[in-house]
Chain A
Amino acid sequence: MRTIFRRAHVCDPSQGVDKVADVVVDEGKVLAIVEDSTPYDVGGCEVIDCSGLVLTPGLIDLHVHLREPGYEYKEDVQSGTEAAVVGGFSAVCCMPNTDPPLDEPAVIRGLLKRAEAVGLARVYPIAAITKGLQPEGLAEMAALKEAGAVAVTDDAYPLQLAEVLRRGMEYAAQLGLTVMTHCEDKSLTRDACMNEGLTATIMGLRGMPPVAEEIQVARNCLMSLYTGCRLHILHVSTAGAVRIIRWAKEMGAPVTAETCPHYFALTDEACLGYNTNAKMNPPLRTQADCDAIIQGLLDGTIDAIATDHAPHASHEKAQEFALAPFGIVGLETAFALSYTELVSTGRMSLSQLVDKMSCQPAKVLALPGGTLAPGSPADIALFDLRRKWTVRASEFRSKSRNTPFEGWELQGKPVLTMVGGRVLYREGM
């Protein structure tokens, strides 16, 4: 069926479009962006009045933990992709630290089957770089790619040995797979649970020094330069990491990077009071780091904003700070947080933000979507940017409630998400 989005503020940075227009969708694809869609309105079209709303390519999240298989009590494909579409995301890339991990073709195929049956946001599995997410021993990347993995990663189990990273990158490069890395020198973060600095010193908690992240960012960038393998740096959190990535790009390394809204919206002071909902890895840093992250986004050093959506059950977070698991949920707050912190403060334009949350993520892994060019999949998000709303974790579609943003007033609400021409989420319109 044909759908016409009428009188939307269309913002598609991939084509430099930023104007009021009508968007025509037919057979799951974008047919046209036109001033006047009357000629297209023939025989039972669904017409959606978008006056006052912003229409963008659906958001794409490069970094999500769906927790299935193995930890369905935290999240599963159903609840996770539901949270995604509520957040304006038409596609999510999911991380391999499940049980069993995504290190075998059968697990990848099983996951994709589930995602298809659920039929919400598109799911792109990222496979493990090593078998069993162990310190060494490469996973069968060729077979994993054939089964549907779009990249490989060590997320949550950062490779400590440069030799393993080297072989992993050489092997991935020949297959055209991007390697994504969580950067952390574990010898510097033993038993640590938050950022090392004044706040951790006051709280009496072991801190992770920023240099633990930066050492591996530098090493991994150098290895990317040496092997020629495409490298994507996950969740950048420090000012030093931004500088190193900027340098690596200048050197011609095939490197991309992402950050998450919490790394520019919060500092480690959010942990005060032993708030485990502010416990994540990498940890929240300082204001100077937040400022550098924003600068990195603006000058293109950081390509994308991802969520690192990491659901955990309430009883797991209701523990002593050092014992609680790392991670926060993010799918349902990411756009509004970014809009509120970056665009409504005048630091970034709307189209820059859409670029970071949709076009660039698509480019990083060469995924479909991220554009409204005619012929591309009709993955679309609609936002009411005037709408102010208060974060209430109890209303999340995600199974988990671990957000440090409870009670925050945010601006900008996703009101409709379409994937492949099907409206999967619609609210208040």
Chain B
Amino acid sequence: MFTDLITLRETEPEDIRLLLDTAQSFKEILDRSVKKVPTLRGRQVVTLFYEASTRTRVSFENAAKIMSADTTSVAAATSSVQKGESLLDTVRNLRAMRIDCLVMRHPQSGSAHLVAQALDIPVVNAGDGMHEHPTQALLDMLTIRQHKGKLEALTVAIVGDIMHSRVARSNLWGLTKMGAKVRFVGPATLLPRDVQRLPVEVYTDLRRGLEGADVVMALRLQQERMERGLLPSLREYSQRWGINARALEVTKPDCIVMHPGPMNRGVEIADDVADGGRSVILEQVTNGVAVRMAVLYHLLGGEAAA
């Protein structure tokens, strides 16, 4: 059994299945009028975010609170790090305050790994640089499973800025471990080197990449990619790689559309698709709470608290 959740690449398929099953059973608690169970009473969960992300932070905190854990959120600007204190010193200080679990978001790949090695409490990676974002992938997988009844043999096309996407990386490992086929689709300048050597099919052509897909996942595109010369213009991007109704014509008829949020409407995803019948984007958000409950439960509560 795992003691931290840092990457899906290093998480066993059984553990992924367990987390998804647990999250599925926890979902029912979210529909109650009193959303509170005593499972993690007295436990202290700290969310340490070096990057702003209201959605992910609130999702983790709500998950902890529903299970009666106490939460503290630390918004550490990266500038405070530049003032001198290293990441390791910061988290060692938090640990010295006897916290029980650390959820962290950080702009550097590998930061959660570094912290997990240094601390003797569970560490949850809530996104580290361009590396992984395991709970996002788990909630994506849960959402897909709810709609398709399975993950095996599905074709999931992940479209956009693959290079910088921790969501794409975590989904790749998670989905392929559960038997799905993954495609990466995007402009060549946003595909990382040697990506074709990963267990994935790679396309620069959107139409071919979406052909026969069961799931289309659009990724967030940042303006900054243009400034760094990776793209000629957002217009050309949206015309070539934006997910709109026409692009979806080649997918399976029951194809669902996902997005990890926040969305740039009109760039990577068209309004009518984002709000349309195939969109499961808001379900992803709900599932996020359930998945994070499952993660905290297994890391902190275990069998004894069940």
Complex interface: chain A residues within 8 A of B197 (CB):
198
Residue from A197, A198, A204 in contact with B109 in the complex, judged by beta carbons closer than 8 Å: A204
Q: Does B177 contact A (CB under 8 A)?
A: no
Question: Which residues of chain A from 211 to 244 have any CB-CB distance to chain B below 8 Å in the complex?
Answer: none
Cross-chain contact A322 with B108 (CB below 8 angstroms): yes
Take A273-B113, A319-B87 as given contacts and tell me if A200 and B108 are in contact as well, using a CB distance cutoff of 8 Å.
no
Q: Does B192 contact A (CB under 8 A)?
A: yes
Cross-chain contact B111 with A320 (CB below 8 angstroms): yes
Residues of A contacting B: mostly: loop
**Cα(A320)–Cα(B109), bound, Å:** 7
**Cα(A207)–Cα(B132), bound, Å:** 17
Q: Does B212 contact A (CB under 8 A)?
A: no
Cross-chain contact A200 with B129 (CB below 8 angstroms): no
**Cα(A22)–Cα(B86), bound, Å:** 56
Take A205-B130, A274-B113 as given contacts and tell me if A200 and B192 are in contact as well, using a CB distance cutoff of 8 Å.
yes
Residue from A197, A209, A318, A321 in contact with B108 in the complex, judged by beta carbons closer than 8 Å: A321
Q: Does B169 contact A (CB under 8 A)?
A: yes
Taking each of B88, B106, B129, B192, which has the highest tally of chain A beta carbons within 10 Å of its own beta carbon?
A: B192
Cross-chain contact B86 with A319 (CB below 8 angstroms): yes
Give A285 Cβ to nearest chain B Cβ, in Å: 12
Cross-chain contact A274 with B114 (CB below 8 angstroms): yes
Question: Which residues of chain B from 101 to 132 have any CB-CB distance to chain A below 8 Å in the complex?
Answer: 106, 108-111, 113-114, 128-132
Question: Which residues of chain B from 82 to 111 have any CB-CB distance to chain A below 8 Å in the complex?
Answer: 86-88, 106, 108-111
Complex interface: chain A residues within 8 A of B113 (CB):
273-274
Take A196-B193, A197-B194 as given contacts and tell me if A205 and B109 are in contact as well, using a CB distance cutoff of 8 Å.
yes
Q: Does A386 contact B (CB under 8 A)?
A: no
Contact with A along B149-172 (1 / 0, CB 8 A): 000000000000000001001000
**Cα(A321)–Cα(B110), bound, Å:** 7
Q: Does B198 contact A (CB under 8 A)?
A: yes
Q: Does B9 contact A (CB under 8 A)?
A: yes
Cross-chain contact A320 with B108 (CB below 8 angstroms): yes
Contact-residue bracket for chain A: 20 to 34
Q: Does B195 contact A (CB under 8 A)?
A: yes
Complex interface: chain B residues within 8 A of A318 (CB):
86, 88, 114
**Cα(A206)–Cα(B129), bound, Å:** 10
Take A205-B130, A318-B86, A319-B87 as given contacts and tell me if A200 and B193 are in contact as well, using a CB distance cutoff of 8 Å.
yes
Nearest opposing residue in chain A for B194, CB measure: A198
Nearest opposing residue in chain B for A191, CB measure: B228
Q: Does A34 contact B (CB under 8 A)?
A: no
**Cα(A320)–Cα(B112), bound, Å:** 9
Complex interface: chain B residues within 8 A of A202 (CB):
9, 169, 198
Cross-chain contact A201 with B193 (CB below 8 angstroms): yes
**Cα(A206)–Cα(B197), bound, Å:** 17
Question: Which residues of chain A from 165 to 205 have any CB-CB distance to chain B below 8 Å in the complex?
Answer: 196-198, 200-205
Q: Which residues of A contact B (CB under 8 A)?
A: 196-198, 200-207, 209, 273-274, 315, 318-323
Q: What would 10 A/B residue contacts be, using CB atoms closer than 8 Å? A: A197-B193, A198-B193, A198-B198, A202-B169, A204-B131, A204-B166, A204-B169, A205-B130, A320-B106, A320-B114
Given contacts A198-B194, A321-B109, 10 further A-B contacts (CB under 8 A): A198-B198, A202-B169, A203-B131, A204-B169, A209-B193, A273-B113, A315-B86, A319-B88, A320-B106, A320-B109
